[in-house]
Amino acid sequence: MTGHLAVIGLGPGDAALLTPQAATALERASDVFGYGPYLARVPQRAGQLHHASDNREEVERARAALALAERGARVAIVSGGDAGVFGMAAAVFEAIEQGDPAWRALPVTVIPGVSALLAAAARVGAPLGHDFCAISLSDNLKAWETVTRRLDAAASAGFVIALYNPASRARPWQLGAAFEVLRRRLPGATPVVFATAVTRPDERIEITTLDAADPAGADMRTLVLVGTATTRRIERPGAAPFLYTPRSEA
Amino acid sequence: MTGHLAVIGLGPGDAALLTPQAATALERASDVFGYGPYLARVPQRAGQLHHASDNREEVERARAALALAERGARVAIVSGGDAGVFGMAAAVFEAIEQGDPAWRALPVTVIPGVSALLAAAARVGAPLGHDFCAISLSDNLKAWETVTRRLDAAASAGFVIALYNPASRARPWQLGAAFEVLRRRLPGATPVVFATAVTRPDERIEITTLDAADPAGADMRTLVLVGTATTRRIERPGAAPFLYTPRSEA
């Protein structure tokens, strides 16, 4: 029997947003690898092994998964959201390129998922209504200057901006610094959304403005959306407002 | 009974990538609105009405759906991929803001889907490995100068770029012009992917370079991905290469 590796996006959290393709691949797997909290979302069927690891060990985790697939196992490796968006997929291909040449012949498939970006946007309306970008505020793998250059370019050019990895205990100041960069380019009234633990039981959605945005509202589970000068806020009686970015910029 | 409107992303095409949340909402709807080819993907249960319309009539379609929900119907309106990414969601909120004030009180929910961007990326590896953006090449709703400014800003700042709406019969020259803008900023060897009808029976994936990219390879059903100077191509024996963009830019 030939082993294989499926790199699977679990979606934002709610099991109703896990695709049937992902559910089937998980069901068939003999071994599932992932960061503990994501792995905890995967129902463990009889005989299936779960290999939980820590957050920062992506490439090591990818290598272990590939080595097991090479020995004939049906392996899955999971990410929250979509595995291709700041998830495990890039780490897997990095491990393949740098690892055992036999790994290149393995059947490796990536099963897409509903990314946090899409789930967070859906919760407040249609803030991604036109061109948009996604930027990770983590400076573990790139220079902070690269982050600020991209923030400045994106705000200047009129992209809606999704900020991944806005804050953690080890990176407490980056989001505040990012807001400072954006305030130089965007009106203070630009809508900002803090979407934390989207679609999970402890979901928290805060809609504010760039002027009022408080970095303390974000943690490791938060995605921050920053609109453009054209993003609209629709007030509603007795309910949270809708946000949307008009498609037309004419 | 109170009516409601669900704005639903159907995913890229394969039914195994339609989320259970979307499937349930479709099953419960009394009326489903959408562009014909998307609506054709929705199984029509007994008693359910399907309202197909043409491609360019988004806001009219949104108004008709809202008016029916206001009269008490359980209405769904569908998009391919994710409804918030160049789909119906922004048109719905535009119609709400400009329409009958009673529409603001309607329960309107957006159900996210697997966008074409994520599905196309998954097919070739992990090309979105770091910061990325999505730009529509349609100049129906914005000036072409806005498009070129964003292309230039994105390529200069090192974003992976996904091009939506690269070509249609009415817009035959935009993709070629976009490649010209990108060639001034990116190496000719930068990987480019033409992903057409992703996950559907007539799927076609072409991996090429910015130098060699031929705009004639794109049609209305194509998503074009343009890597960065760091995007890697992993050759494989007897199989298409993998593409990935390394997470580390240090």
Chains A, B: CB contacts within 8 A come to: 248
Pick the closest to residue A57 from A76, A33, A74, A73 (CA basis).
A33
pLDDT at A55: 72
Task: Taking the CA atoms of A194, B7, A115 and A178 in sequence, report the sign of the dihedral they define.
Answer: negative
B154 to A157: CB separation less than 8 angstroms, yes or no = yes
Task: Taking the CA atoms of A170, A13, A21 and A4 in sequence, report the sign of the dihedral they define.
Answer: positive
B133 to A154: CB separation less than 8 angstroms, yes or no = yes
pLDDT at B1: 63
- Residue B137 sits at φ, ψ, to 5 deg, of -85, 5
pLDDT at A56: 72
State how far residue B3 is from chain A, nearest Cα, in angstroms.
Answer: 17
Closest chain A residue by Cα to residue B244: A90
End-to-end CA distance of chain A: 58
Which of chain B's residues have a Cβ under 8 Å away from the Cβ of A12? 112
CA distance A151 to A167: 16
Which of chain B's residues have a Cβ under 8 Å away from the Cβ of A129? 84, 89-90, 93
The residues of chain A scoring below 70 in pLDDT are 1
> Quick count: other Cβ atoms within 10 Å of Cβ A225?
26
CA distance B248 to A90: 10
B144-157 average pLDDT score: 98
- Cβ pair B130, B249 in contact under 8 A: yes
- According to DSSP, residue A144 is labeled H
Pick the closest to residue A63 from A25, A102, A17 (CA basis).
A102
The identity of residue A20, as a single letter, is: P
pLDDT at A57: 85
B249 to A134: CB separation less than 8 angstroms, yes or no = no
- Cβ pair B67, B59 in contact under 8 A: no
B121 to A112: CB separation less than 8 angstroms, yes or no = yes
B104 to A237: CB separation less than 8 angstroms, yes or no = yes
The identity of residue B68, as a single letter, is: L
CA-based R_g, chain A, Å:
19
A122 to B111: CB separation less than 8 angstroms, yes or no = yes
Mean of the per-residue pLDDT values for chain B? 96
Reported as a single tens digit per residue, the pLDDT across B195-230 is 999 999 999 999 999 999 999 999 999 999 999 999
Reported as a single tens digit per residue, the pLDDT across B39-93 is 999 999 999 999 998 777 899 999 999 999 999 999 999 999 999 999 999 999 9
Residue B138 has pLDDT above 80, yes or no: yes
Residue A68 tokens read as 């097991």
pLDDT at A34: 97
Closest chain A residue by Cα to residue B84: A126
Please list the alpha-helical segments (H only) found in B18-160.
Answer: 20-28, 36-39, 58-70, 88-98, 116-124, 144-157
